Structure 1
Amino acid sequence: MAIFAEQIRLAYPTPQDLKDRRWIYVPYDRFTDRTGPLTEQPASATGIVIVESTAKAHRRPYHKKKLVLLISNMRHFALEQAARGCKVIYQFSEESHARALLELQRSLPLPELSMMQPAERELRLDIEAAILDGLKIKLAPDTTWLSTIEDFLSVFGPYKSGRSYVMDRFYRTQRQKTGILMDKGKPRGGKFSFDAENRKPYKGLPLIPQPPVFAPDEVTNEVITLVEQTYPHHFGLISNFNSPVTQQDADLAWAFALEHLLPHFGPYEDAMRDDELQLFHSRLSGLINLGRLLPSQMTADVEAACAEGLIPLASAEGFIRQILGWREFMRHLHQQTDGYRLLAGTVAQEAGSKPSRDVYAGATPSALSASLPLPAAYWGVKSGLHCLDTVVAQVIEEGWSHHITRLMVLSNLATLGGFSPRQLTDWFWFAYVDAYDWVVETNVLGMATYADGGLTATKPYVSGAAYINKMSNFCGHCQYDPKRSTGEGSCPFTALYWTFLERNESVLGNNFRLQMPYTTLRKKSPIELVQLRARAQKAIDELQQLPHLEY
């Protein structure tokens, strides 16, 4: 770290700076000077503290590219603030973030700090514990969000067990409050959602533009070496790192997506391809969750481009629904349910799980009694399922795949097979560059696996091979036939789907959205049901027998 350490050393404060400046702690996911405490006084009156903690990085086998993305953005943000005129204390620590702050405050000494309310539950707990030990820090509202907890409570009220939380209700209210894509109180185009229009498979046209390249600079190369040496056994590949790590590059990536990707995003947002893994997705969720790109600016840009006719309304609405709807909704739900821990008294828990005194231990709801160990295929051991192997290989390479491959390949298979929702959640948490507790736990334990018993979804998001075949080209390159559900060469997704419904009929049989498939299931002959069960069990056994890798 000699290059970066030498550069940032020049911004270290004098004793007088410690007394005269306002000191702000910038956490590991809020690299912005466009909102919040850093905007409230001139740079010449500002000091910032940043902690690079190996304790946090060692907590899980985080994808190596996630660590590079986060640490390089962290270091570049520190340099950017120094260039503005801020004084910077950049602390390398083997302790937690809050413990490092406490030690700094005692040793320098530092005056009272300010910070935005932490987004992650883990950091909130860390800060709260340090405050009890004497850390002096004032929490300010996190203005990177588009909504407040009061907005959420105005729709649903305080958390109550047994209540259903439907994102669409919250989204409509936020559209009306913000006026985004609204005309005189009415949704532009006559409806709030154009989701039904955004379900086309991609057949090769329009052509997908080549994104800009962000070659690592000397600071990033130093981080890459650090991650290789310090976290050698972590998940994923580190080669070919190509992501924005400066504010300028983050803005360039967004400008490219806005002009070249968003105009075609909507119709193909649910499509999947093995030869065009990104399609028209922006791949900017990691930067949004680090604070590099602000949702307020992004939604304003998309709305303006839509008004100018540069982005079709269906594409604009689909993108804004992800940002203003799902992203905000899920973080509120995580906070209100304490990361789903409050479900323990009303939703069945995963077999073998026990109450833990560890405040960081994850919630273990499993409304459908799923508990099988997550197969080694998720770590890159080839399963023979082309869709699964393709998506996992992409995640190992990039630390990213788009939302439909996450939902309808990775999570679909885990749900159909009865694999542990908690293990799947933890896998997503360390495997994806954009995963933090507030987004991954609610999405995976809720929408993706129905482990929450329907708190966030009116039915499980599951399908057989027909959906994957319709929305992708995966099946055309697979050894299994998506049109066969039993017998030699049949795709196991379909047998897994029917046996999933059969296995969970006591829980799901009266679900109004599943009446058609249950009617079909009940018409199947005893012989066909036996064959479906055998095919599904064979697939589960084969996945369970794959040798595990160690991380």
Structure 2
Amino acid sequence: MPKTLRLILGDQLNSAHSWLQHTNDEATYLMLEIMQEQEYVMHNVQKILAFFGAMRNFAHHLTKAGHRVIYLNLDDQGNEQDLEKNIKKIIKKEKIELFEYQLPDEYRLDEQLKDICKGLNINTGVADTEHFLTERMEVHDFFGGKKRYLMENFYRHMRSKNHILMHGDEPEGDRWNFDADNRNKYDGKVPLQDALRFDHDVSSLKKMIDKMGVKYFGGFDEEHLPWPLSRQEALKVLEYFCEHLLPHFGTYEDAMLQEHSSLFHSRISFAQNVKLISPAEIVGKVISHYQSNKNKISLAQVEGYIRQVIGWREFMRGVYWAHMPGYDQKNFFGHKTEIPHWFWDGKTKMNCLNKCITQSLDEAWAHHIQRLMVIGNFALLAGIDPDHVDAWYLGIYIDAIQWVEVTNTRGMSQFADGGIVGSKPYVASAAYINKMSDHCKHCHYNYKARHGEKACPFNSLYWNFFDRNADKLEKNPRIGMAYVTLKKMKPDEKEKTMLQAETYLNNLNEL
């Protein structure tokens, strides 16, 4: 083997990778903390510290296992703060003969590493990350060039291909999808469980990023970072989820409570997205636990979770690679409104947004309905520029890496892709938020009113959205009833509703 330098990115912490199964004196592993990755978007401070903490733990694990590791801290002297400059410097210093890297999950890094390799005068190689259940272009090939992708079809393909929850060629329970059973408001019938949280003191890391002038937002107790930063901790999160949360996950996966942020969600997404734990491991453990506890766990709970892991997550990655470059610039509605300032501090009179945004800032995490049907719903109804929405989501959430963030945000949430990911815009009035949460009863606004003093902004903005986008949406068969209702609305009622919406749209920062 020639003298080899192997790059491991911050979201490639896969100890099961074939590279790492044997030590080799000729292989050196390179891991970098660089300002380049702190500056392409402003991140939540918990996200930065969790990445650095997990990377340092992983490097320690590699060294302990006998691998040779070069790890550059952000504040190390000689750190060029740039991927290309650091790679070339180390290749020269170490007299490297072969440079290898694993396929990045972000398009920008994929392109950058291709360009770096073109400029090297040594041999180069590329390896798969060996993490996902699909190849990069598998979704593209599965849909054969169709303009719209239906996740349900791909999900069934994944179930069959991997023989997950199957009896021969048929789905277990004779149903592919139990989503209709999993839309319940929390009713207090089962006790809530606290999320499993860790207690990492990252105060020294915090001092280091402050010394380096890293810009960030959000805040927390830096002596108590709660996220899993090692594979062992990721496995503990999975075990805890199966034992305490899975029995009621599906039933309440869409529910929201202002005094309990996570309900029955696993909060394993950060560990999964940096590859401390694989989707195959998660699925295997969940199914094994279900099969051993069928007296306590229904199929609907398990199927709902499995769908997120092997269906939605793999599907979103496939959409990303099928439509990059360019997906991150799509703007179907031509929205250009600036994001309200209260997205950065949560100080809005709308209680649902106050709670969901404040939680996102404080915890660097929210579950899918908080992200989609509260925050994203408002952004779409208000016509916020999807560039601003993307940057906010990418920076604020600990699990946000562009391949999964942009498809969920610009596609699913903002319908900016015109329907590649979703067959309709995911918008709703206050009635939905009241149905799924306890936010409305504590709100300054009246969730029942479309117009007038203290009328909930979601209501008038909802009807304004459909009215102003009739040319783009009216023929969509999945939202035809909205236009039937709009046409039946009495002229006076419609006028008051639209005037209320215009007032709110002109004063978003005051809501």
Same fold at TM > 0.5: yes
1:28 deviates by 1.0
Contact residue 3 and residue 97 of structure 2 kept, 8 A: no
Q: Which of 134-143 and 401-410 deviates more?
A: 134-143
Three-state SS of the structure 1 residue aligned to 2:242 is: helix
**Secondary structure at the counterpart of residue 329 of structure 2:** coil
Matched, 1:207 2:191: yes
Task: For residue 231 of structure 1, report the CA deviation from its aligned partner.
Answer: 4.5
Contact 1:339–1:442 (CA<8 Å) still a contact in 2?
no
Structure 1: which 5+ residue stretches go unaligned? 1-18, 342-362, 547-551
CA distance, structure 2, for counterparts of residue 136 and residue 279 of structure 1: 50
Q: Deviations along 1:184-236, whole A, 9 cap, x unmatched?
A: 1111111111111000001234212233442224xx33212223433464121
CA distance in 2, matches of 1:171, 1:164: 15
User: 1:136: Cα distance to partner?
Assistant: 4.2
Cα contact 1:377–1:543 (8 A) shared by 2: no
Asked if residue 28 in structure 1 is aligned to residue 38 in structure 2, the reply is no
Measure the CA separation in 2 of the matches of 1:335 and 1:321: 20
Q: For 1:138-180, what per-residue CA distance to the aligned partner results, in whole angstroms no more than 9, with x for missing partners?
A: 11122100112453244212x46xx111111111111110001
Q: Specify which of 73, 88, 100 is matched with residue 69 of structure 2.
A: 88
**Which amino acid is 1:95 matched to?**
Q
Structure 2 CA distance for aligned equivalents of residues 206 and 43 of structure 1: 53
1:148 to 2:148 alignment: no
Partner of 1:188: 172
1:55 CA drift (Å): 1.8
Q: Which residues of 2 match residues 74-113 of structure 1 at below 5 A?
A: 74-92=55-73, 93-113=79-99
Instruction: Kindly report which structure 2 residues correspond to 1:348-497, keeping only aligned pairs within 5 A, or say none.
Output: 363-497=328-462
Q: Compare 239-248 and 468-477 and name the one that shifted more.
A: 239-248
Q: Kindly tell me: are residues 366 and 322 of structure 1, through their superposed partners in 2, closer, same or farther at Cα, counting changes over 3 Å?
A: same
Equivalences for residues 149-548 of structure 1 within 5 A? 149=136, 151-157=138-144, 159=145, 163-217=147-201, 220-231=202-213, 233-239=215-221, 240-308=224-292, 309=294, 311-341=297-327, 363-544=328-509
Residues 543 and 111 from structure 1, CA distance in 2 versus in 1: closer, same or farther, beyond 3 angstroms?
same
Give the superposition deviation at 1:399. Answer: 0.9
Any idea what the Cα deviations from partners look like across 1:266-315, whole Å, max 9, x if unmatched?
Answer: 01110011011111111111111101111110011111122222532111
Distance 2:137 2:39 in 1: 35
- How many residues are treated as equivalent by the alignment? 501
* CA shift in 2, pair 1:480/1:531, >3 Å: same
CA distance in 2, matches of 1:42, 1:109: 19
Q: 2:46 aligns with which of 39, 47, 65?
A: 65
Distance across 1 between alignment mates of 2:213 and 2:298: 44
Q: Give 1:247 shift.
A: 2.0
Amino acid in the other structure paired with 2:250: G
Residue 136 to residue 65, structure 1, CA distance change in 2 (3 Å): farther
Name the CA shift for 1:304/1:196 in 2 (closer, same or farther; >3 Å).
same
Specify the alignment match of 1:9 in structure 2. none
TM-score (norm 2): 0.94
CA contact 2:140–2:318 (8 Å) conserved in 1: no
Answer whether contact 2:140 2:322 (CA < 8 A) is retained. no
- 8 Å CA contact 2:348–2:510 kept in 1: the answer is no
Change in Cα spacing, 1:254 to 1:231, as seen in structure 2 (3 Å) is: farther
Is this contact kept in 2: 1:334–1:340, CA < 8 A?
Answer: no
User: Quick one: which amino acid aligns to residue 417 of structure 1?
Assistant: A
Q: What amino acid is the match of 1:186?
A: E
Q: Secondary structure at the match of 1:115?
A: strand
Structure 2 equivalent of residue 118 of structure 1? 104
Corresponding residue for residue 76 of structure 2: none
Deviation digits for residues 327-349 of structure 1 (CA, Å, limit 9, x no counterpart): 111111111111444xxxxxxxx
1:542 offset after TM fit, Å?
A: 2.4
8 Å contact from structure 1 (residues 24, 38) kept in 2:
no
3-state DSSP of counterpart to 1:31: coil
- TM-score (normalizing by structure 1): 0.87
Say which SS state the counterpart of residue 43 (structure 2) adopts.
Answer: coil
> Aligned partners of 2:199 and 2:210: how far apart in 1?
18
Contact 1:287 / 1:293 at 8 angstroms: preserved in 2? yes
For residue 49 of structure 1, the aligned residue among 30, 46, 53 is 30
Q: Do the aligned partners of residues 382 and 476 (structure 1) sit closer, same or farther apart at CA in structure 2, a change above 3 Å counting?
A: same
Deviations 1:54-92 (A, max 9, x none): 221122211110000000100011011111111111124
Q: Which residue of 2 aligns with 1:7?
A: none
Distance 1:213 1:450 in 2: 34
- Gap runs ≥5 in structure 2: 74-78
**Cα distance per residue 1:11-68 (max 9 Å; x no partner):** xxxxxxxx877543211101121134223x2477753211111221122211110000
Separation (CA, whole Å) in 2 of partners of 1:274 and 1:495: 24
Q: Which moved more, 1:75-84 or 1:110-119?
A: 110-119
CA contact (8 A) 1:115 1:139 kept: yes
For 1:96 and 1:320, the matched residues in 2 are separated by 38
Question: How far apart, CA to CA, are the structure 2 residues paired with 1:178 and 1:508?
Answer: 37
Helix, strand or coil for the counterpart of 1:264?
A: helix
SS in 1 for 2:276: coil
For residues 132 and 113 of structure 2, what CA distance do their matches in structure 1 show? 20
Shift of residue 516, structure 1, vs aligned partner:
1.3
Q: Offset at 1:415?
A: 0.6
List per-residue Cα deviations over 1:510-538 (Å, max 9, x = no partner). 11111112111100111111111121122
CA distance in 1, matches of 2:174, 2:363: 39
The one of 123, 126, 150 equivalent to 1:139 is 126
Matched AA of 1:174 = M
Q: SS at the partner of 1:53?
A: coil
On the 8 A contact 1:119/1:438 being kept in 2, the answer is: yes
